[in-house]
Amino acid sequence: MSTNIEKEPGPQGDSPIEPQPEKRKREYKDFGHDETKQTHANVDMSTIELKAEDLYDKEKVDLETISLDDVFKLLQCDDAGLTDAEASRRLELFGPNKLESEEQNAFLQFLSFMWNPLSWVMEAAALVAIALSNGEHRPPDWQDFVGIVFLLLVNSSIGFYEERNAGNAVKALMDSLAPKAKVKRDGKWSEVESSILVPGDMISFKIGDIVPADCRLTEAINVSIDQAALTGESLPQSKKVTDQCFSGSTCKQGEAEGVVISTGSNTFFGRAASLVGQDDDTTGHLQKILAQIGSFCLVCIGIFVIAEIVVLYPAFKYTYRRGLDNILVLLIGGIPIAMPTVLSVTLAVGAQQLAKHKAIVTRITAIEELAGVTILCSDKTGTLTTNKLTIDRGTIRTYGPFSADDVVLLAAYASRTENQDAIDTSVVAAIGDPTRARAGIKLLDFKPFNPVDKRTEITYLEESTGKLKRVTKGMTGIIIELCTRNKTDELENRLEADVEEYATRGLRALAVAYEELDGDDPESEGNGFELIGLLAIFDPPREDTKQTIDDALALGVKVKMVTGDQLAIAKETGRRLGLGDHMYPAKVLKDGPAPGGKHANLDEMIMDADGFAGVFPEHKYEIVKRLQALGHLCAMTGDGANDAPALSRANVGIAVEGATDAARGAADIVLTEPGLSTIVHAIRGSRIIFQRMRNYSIYACAVTIRIVVSFAILAFAYRLNFPPFMILIIALLNDGTIMTLSVDRVLPSNTPDSWDLTEIFAFAIAYGIYLTASTVSLVAIIIQTTFFQDKFGVNFGDESSNPVDPNSPHLHMVIYLQVAIISQALIFVTRSHGFFFMERPSTALLCAFAVAQLISSIIAGFGNWGFTNISAISGGWIGIVWVWNIIWFFPLDLIKFAMKATVIKSLRERRLAAIAAAAPHHDIPVTRTQSRAASIHESLYSNRVSFIKRAARKVGFGQKISMKPEELQRFSSIQAHRTGATLARNPSRTATGA
């Protein structure tokens, strides 16, 4: 591989160095570098004995600037690479080449499920029960305290278990996608996992690859490295031989080889990573929703707690303990304590279910956002198409003395036979036997493709004739400019017509030119390139792509193709796939729509477009940004490093199968199967998960209202003092049943989902008030009449059949059973869109409900517990309660339908009218309104992960490396020196680089 090649200027002629005319075609030159003077270590390199005090003394040794010879001596290696045995030994010395992910402390992760306002209220209730419930010759309320703590522990345990399981599943899948690196061991190149690289390894990388470790370049052709994530430099940096490349940076251009000088946490990236992201206090969208739902519940509880304090003590002259028991009922019963756990479990289970469809969720809350995606921006190549280019032999055009088969063979000569890109692969495959690409010729010089010159070139000796010949293939415009022999206007016109014909058919044109050289100098000028042929390259759509796009459109998701390919090719592909052919070139993003056209502004054009062609990374980013500004949730698919900015910007970034490490790192979801079909599975799956969360949210808010309103009214009307411990039993049984919602059978919506909290609260208020009426009316009948005693011959044990005392232990048990049964039964109404019996629930939910009701009925029949104010009731009363609840249950569906026809319909019409007024030309309704706004209470729900990190640091877990800024500027060199020191202390058994 040549390292002293002068680079031909690009077609724009923006080269800062004026090339010599006579070498215009032949040599490439790496430009943009200031020559760095090579230094030498001021130590005796022959001994390779670096003392500790030398490691930080840049006057003695600096691996960034010392000569490569000294680097090889210091690291005891050579350009043939390490032996496998030596690499294994060094792996033990230096550890794996990967960043040790900060393991979450399991105990703190468990406690984090108690770190939210809903749990804080329950924890406050526990303190009230144990600390404030003293006096009046009664012991502290131990039973309620233990019950509350048990309830908190149960919820945290379930959430912890499910989240750890989901995390382990994702980790296992991500481990299977470990980054690869090309390394030379025992003199042979092979591909290995990047994690086993060690200092002294010889590595190579090319365009699109992630640099796997800090290295010094030993060979480089037209290398440009994007290290913005590490250094903040906005533009890629040109690199030449002896330059240092940092681990984690992206190769944007060219190809290179280098010697590894530091790995893992000792790299520039590794140490920098330890300094950033320590206090990530960002609040996820789901946390914002939780904040608003939680605040709604807290406000409801607060209103009635204050009302009880105002009424019970001054007006009813309640004693301290009696009033406190009533307040505890509202606190314990009103708080949907299981909400954070249920939603976490639902997402965790959902992530595991999506993993079965080969979709790895790297940001779990992305599941919820995927359910609301309205626009999917998809890359074309490799996503909509197979990314397996083929030569369409039937459409090959020839212009010179060669046949179509000859043109294909010469194009194969001008292709790499190893480390191939997609075009080289297709060209070599077109000749049938890949060995023919080098048969009968002797390779003298080869210049691989790069984004500036946009062509490849081979100079070879034809063994049968002994002549030197040169072939180049590449972009049509570049090749025809190179041609000087037999080029006429007629030829150029014919070529242009052929390329246009290809483009209209979705074919990519690849021009081939040929020249002969006189003499035996492979660097000499030839007799001039002559255009000999045009190859048609075709990237066919995947078999399932059209059906997948149709499915996405049916789900209300508009698909826009965003490709770097030519506009005509993009239009043809769009027509084939049913996407439409309203495609625009990327320049419209800068210039805007043409004056007098059908689009008033750029936003309207972007909304109308079926896709964009000729885009660069900044265009993809701009498209996503503008769509988001219009109110849409946008998903972006991509596979290359150039897609990473847009993937990161999108609401849901999706790295498709075979994506580069950079794309995976920026994405929220990583697909491990090719094509878009997995994305449609993921959209359906996320909508199912969303429906489960929405159903539970309505249920939780309704139960909060029914508990606080019911027991406040009973306290005000009858001075009824319900025992707090029985509310704990209701909450515990509810939680056990509700957890099964995470696997419930629900139907995904046919349109993008959104959190409309106004609708949720409206449903909750209607259900809550209705259930309150069911409880209050039952108690009123029992207290004020003898209806049940007279009609059914039941009574409360030894008590008379006269109207009973409001604080009868038997009445408390009746209230407990009635509230427990119908509260849980409400879930069957909230989970269905029509009549509850028309949508079959999961077996797990049915079984959990049946078990909970059996337990509730057994407690009602046998629960004579002395520590709380309840007594068992007869089977007659249990039957009455069951029949009462069944009678009250069926109208719940009618309430749902009535709400949809009145209040909910009115809310939706008002919202859609506001949207239409704001964006009258949008063909996709934007349904995200206030639910996307940040809640004023969201700070209470700061991300649990950040809580874990902060707590871990405070108690001494997971310590981070601290570093002074001045040390940061030079630590990459320092770590390389440590490498040398470690090798010096552990010399190789067989010296390799003395």
Amino acid (1-letter code) at residue 241 = V
Q: How far apart are CA 39 and CA 617, in angstroms?
A: 39
Catalytic status, residue 209: no
| HSE-CB for 525 with a 13 A CA cutoff | 10
Q: How far apart are CA 850 and CA 978, in angstroms?
A: 65
Q: What burial class does residue 947 get, using C-beta atoms within 10 Å of its C-beta: 0-12 exposed, 13-18 middle, 19+ buried? A: middle
Cβ-Cβ contacts under 8 Å for 90 (sequence gap 6 or more): 82, 198, 199, 200, 983
Start-to-end Cα distance in the chain: 25
Q: What burial class does residue 850 get, using C-beta atoms within 10 Å of its C-beta: 0-12 exposed, 13-18 middle, 19+ buried? A: exposed
Q: What is the DSSP string of 234-272?
A: SS-EEE-TT-EE-TT-EEEEEEEEEEEEE-GGGSHHHHH
Q: How far apart are CA 74 and CA 94, in angstroms?
A: 15
Other Cβ atoms less than 10 A from the Cβ of 598: the count is: 9
Nearest 10 degrees: Cα torsion 821, 825, 826, 831: 160
Other Cβ atoms less than 10 A from the Cβ of 777: the count is: 12
Cβ-Cβ contacts under 8 Å for 800 (sequence gap 6 or more): none
Closest alpha carbon to 125 in 332, 268, 405: 332
Nearest 10 degrees: Cα torsion 818, 819, 821, 823: 150
> How many residues are given for the chain?
994
Q: How far apart are CA 792 and CA 274, in angstroms?
A: 73
DSSP class of residue 941 equals G
DSSP collapsed to 3 states, 400-435: CCCCHHHHHHHHHHCCCCCCCCHHHHHHHHHCCCHH
> 3-state class of 350 per DSSP?
helix
Helix axis angle, 757-784 to 809-830, nearest 10°:
150
Enumerate the β-bridge partners of residue 671. 359
Tokens of 493: 């016109």
Other Cβ atoms less than 10 A from the Cβ of 464: the count is: 8
Closest alpha carbon to 212 in 262, 254, 275, 255: 262
Closest alpha carbon to 505 in 574, 568, 458: 568
Tokens of 942: 């700061």
Cβ-Cβ contacts under 8 Å for 416 (sequence gap 6 or more): 424, 446, 448, 456
DSSP collapsed to 3 states, 671-706: ECCCCCHHHHHHHHHHHHHHHHHHHHHHHHHHHHHH
> 3-state class of 90 per DSSP?
helix
| HSE-CB for 727 with a 13 A CA cutoff | 29
Cα 18 from chain centroid? 46
DSSP class of residue 437 equals G
Q: How far apart are CA 775 and CA 274, in angstroms?
A: 57
- In b/e form, how buried is each residue of 237-267, taking b as 16+ CB within 10 angstroms? bbbbbbbbbbbbbbbbbbbbbbbbbbbbbbb
Catalytic hit among 30, 209, 243, 379: 379
Give the sign of the dihedral formed by CA 779, CA 781, CA 787, CA 791: negative
Task: Give yes or no for a contact between 468 and 516, defined as CB atoms under 8 angstroms apart.
Answer: yes
Question: Active-site residue numbers?
Answer: 379
